[in-house]
Structure 1
Amino acid sequence: MLLITFLDRIGSGLWASVSVLYFTYVSGLSIAQVGTLAAVSGAIGIAGAPLGGRIADRFPLTRVLIALQVLRALASFALLTTDHYPLLLAYSAVGSLGDRASSVLTKLYATRVAGADRVRYQAVNRTVSNAGWALGGLAAAAALTLGTTTAYCWLLAGDGLSFVMVALLTLPCAEPPSITRIAATADDAPRNGRPANPWRDRTYLAYVATETVLFLDDTVFKIGLPLWIAHSQGVPHGLAPLLLVLNNLMVVALQVPLARYGTSTAAARNLLLPLSVAFALGGITMAFSATGGTLRAVCLLTASAATFTLAEMLHATVSWELSVALAPDNALGAYLGVHGLAQSAQRSIGPLAVTAAIATGPLGWTLFGTTIALTCAIQHRLVRDRLQRSPLSVPPVTVSEH
């Protein structure tokens, strides 16, 4: 499954870095049309996480994953067949729906395969994912030096072919067994013989709401840092891509080592406290970067990027563990699907939050980091009672992987 993740991310890296350029120069769309297409397809993609999780609780997980990869491949190839805006919008939406659903189901597969070692497995999976994404991005950058329509089309075709390869590699994978939890609580028990419903679980929904805020680190790197640098006097614009490279290198180098600090549910919950400090420091260093000369700004922006990356890695470790530990086994797919909404929702609110911080100036970044830090403390308190009522003991599970 790690090889599958690697190939999947290479394909996504090929397309993500050129999608806007493709729609602009190949499909001939206006800026407004490209923006609308991204917004609408992203909004529809939000439904992919809970929908995919619900389906995975009813059908064999590997077969659902294969179907989703085929769907993503068809959506990518379909984009090559037309420049008609409504069709491009429809195909992009289908691709976004499949992408969000497959992301949740890949996490579910890893959870079932790794058992009690799920946090370390997810850390390795995330490292491989970042490496694949970076490789795809570098390949796209090299191809774009040609600057031709054919180059753009081949990159999109490469994205579709990666999904075909992933589907073929998933075919021989064994179906992972469901996790068995030795100790269960009344909260985990099915009501009226039916699986638990995450939409009626107020604690889990509140937890997902806090997760939406904690996932804002993603928007910091995609929008916050580039815009802040672009509007900072004396700061070279070339610093923005270098900080993204720093982010990727730190994740590849440190995600797995950091995972050992969250290998139990209690340890993962305790990580929320240093995580809150990391988010607060990230916001403060961003604020102070506007108070000095060029060298001072570059050093503080680099420190802020490193701190937000540390927060990103700590949150990934915490999120992987708590999202599973708080969910009942009889509806794990449905619960992880709802959890996937947090990442999707922040893609909508994240740009608004970050641009508001930039517009407010240094004080805005301080408030931004402090707000996320306080949310960490709220989540730490929120999950305490639920976890105390539900002591977990998850035996390791071994499944052959391809």
Structure 2
Amino acid sequence: MKRLTSAQLISSVGDGAYYVSSALYFTLIVGLSPAQVGLGLTVGWAVGSAAGVALGQLADRRGPKGTAVLLALGTAASVTAFLFVDSVFAFVIAACVYACFQCGLGAARQALLAGLIDPAGRTTFRARLQAMSNAGIAIGAALGGIALAIGTREAFLTVFVVDALAFAAAALVLRKVPSVAPVPMRAGEPSVAVLRDRPYALLALLNMIMLLYMPLFSLVLPLWISTRTAAPSWLVSAMLVLNTASVVVFQVRVARGVTGLRGASRYVRHAGLLLFVSCLIFSFSAMGDSAWAAALVLLAGAALQVVGEMAQAAGSWEIGFGLAPDGKQGQYQGLFGAGTAIARMLGPVLLTGLILVGGTVGWIVLGGLFLLAGTLTAPAVRWAERTRPEAALEVSPPVPA
């Protein structure tokens, strides 16, 4: 499955370049205000999270390989459309199209993985993809950083071209992946069955809450460090490097400990506790005037946070795959993966208000959300198992009380 890994790496390079430079391009070059950019991205990811389920169902019915190829090409085209954005309206439309293709592509690739990899090996292989994704994003971020340093319109446009070419190249690689047979809809079957699966929907919601850690390193901690602590500003880069390198090196090893729904529930519960403690540690960084003391506290919190992040990822992949019925992986992964889009959409607004306004209390509330979501995951998994004994029980024994 080297081609799946290669496609993930290539597209992640484009993602990394886009993430680093896009916001400044739209504000400094296009002339949109930060609020307008935020609005466009919020609307885009909201539409994309809903479209991901429908496009995931398309992958089930038409075959995940062909769907993934088309959606990768669509992502390349949507990135190219950003080159012609010159107004708020055009940006919102382009952001919606981009988010739809991205969310749909994620669901189709997950369905393709589920169809090609034996159930016992899906989580470990997904961990390899995550490690490649982080490595690709790091490479892309370096390319985007060059554009930021140059600062010209041409430099930013080059980043978008690189992003589009990366997704086009990923589509070509995906064409060489073995096909997975489509599954026709049965008579009387609901068109989007996942929307009627309440236990799975609850697990998707809990997973979305856990994914609120995503905006921490990109937005919340940089603002926290600069406004509330005595730590040097360069520490943001050091923490990001620590996070990225840890995932690249250790994510596969962490995932090997997940062997079924029992282990997955335990990992998510532990992740909730680790993320809770990391939030407490981050809150301590505002105490005192020593730059080095604040830096050490922040690094300790970041180290604990990335361990929780890796544990949560490994557990959630096993749960997301293990509880999805055969022939419906696309739509189920579309719903489960919507947590990423929603975290990107709501996370920055929620967390900046919660942490930067609430301070220590805000950190405790956020940590409590992580702890609660992690704790509730095991009961939700048991509920889901009871509704699909023929599907989930072959993956793992029942989750203990």
**TM-score normalised by L of structure 1:** 0.90
Number of matched pairs: 386
Whether 1:117 and 2:118 are equivalent positions in the alignment is no
2:367 aligned residue (362, 366, 369): 369
Contact conserved, 2:83 with 2:157, CA < 8 A, in 1? yes
The CA deviation string for residues 145-195 of structure 1, in whole angstroms up to 9 with x for no partner, is 32222111111111111111112222222113589xxxxxxxxx9784557
Which moves more between the two structures, 25-34 or 55-64? 25-34
Secondary structure of 2:117's partner?
A: helix
Counterpart residue number, 1:215: 211
The Cα of 1:5 is off from its aligned counterpart by 0.6
Structure 1 CA distance, aligned partners of 2:295 and 2:336?
36
Structure 1 CA distance, aligned partners of 2:190 and 2:351?
42
Counterpart residue number, 1:94: 97
1:308 aligned residue (305, 310, 320): 305
Which moves more between the two structures, 2-11 or 215-224? 215-224
Secondary structure of 1:231's partner?
A: helix
Whether 1:378 and 2:376 are equivalent positions in the alignment is yes
Secondary structure of 2:62's partner?
A: coil
Counterpart residue number, 1:260: 256
Secondary structure of 2:72's partner?
A: helix
**TM-score normalised by L of structure 2:** 0.90
Q: 1:88 to 1:196 in 2, by over 3 A?
A: closer
What amino acid sits opposite 2:382 in the alignment?
Answer: R
Q: How does 1:2-401 map to 2 (within 5 A)?
A: 2-115=5-118, 116-176=120-180, 192-193=188-189, 197-292=193-288, 293-355=290-352, 356-387=354-385, 390=389, 391-393=392-394
Structure 2 CA distance, aligned partners of 1:21 and 1:196?
38
Secondary structure of 1:17's partner?
A: helix
Secondary structure of 1:261's partner?
A: coil
Q: 1:371 to 1:24 in 2, by over 3 A?
A: closer
Runs of 4+ in structure 1 deviating by more than 4 angstroms, as ranges, are 193-196
| RMSD of aligned alpha carbons | 2.3
The CA deviation string for residues 44-94 of structure 1, in whole angstroms up to 9 with x for no partner, is 222232122111111021111111112111112222235244333322221
Which moves more between the two structures, 193-202 or 331-340? 193-202
Structure 2 CA distance, aligned partners of 1:92 and 1:241?
27
Q: 1:87 to 1:351 in 2, by over 3 A?
A: closer
Q: 1:379 to 1:217 in 2, by over 3 A?
A: same
Contact conserved, 1:196 with 1:328, CA < 8 A, in 2? no
Structure 2 CA distance, aligned partners of 1:192 and 1:32?
46
Counterpart residue number, 2:399: none
Alignment gaps of 5+ in structure 2: 397-401
Structure 2 CA distance, aligned partners of 1:361 and 1:130?
30
Which moves more between the two structures, 36-45 or 364-373? 36-45
The CA deviation string for residues 16-70 of structure 1, in whole angstroms up to 9 with x for no partner, is 1111122223323233332332222222222232122111111021111111112
Contact conserved, 2:270 with 2:374, CA < 8 A, in 1? no
Structure 1 CA distance, aligned partners of 2:48 and 2:205?
18
Structure 2 CA distance, aligned partners of 1:273 and 1:87?
43
Structure 1 CA distance, aligned partners of 2:299 and 2:240?
10
The Cα of 1:259 is off from its aligned counterpart by 0.7
Please state which structure has a larger fraction of its residues in helix: 2
Q: 1:92 to 1:124 in 2, by over 3 A?
A: same
Alignment gaps of 5+ in structure 1: 180-188, 396-402
Secondary structure of 1:271's partner?
A: helix
Contact conserved, 2:63 with 2:181, CA < 8 A, in 1? no
The Cα of 1:365 is off from its aligned counterpart by 0.9
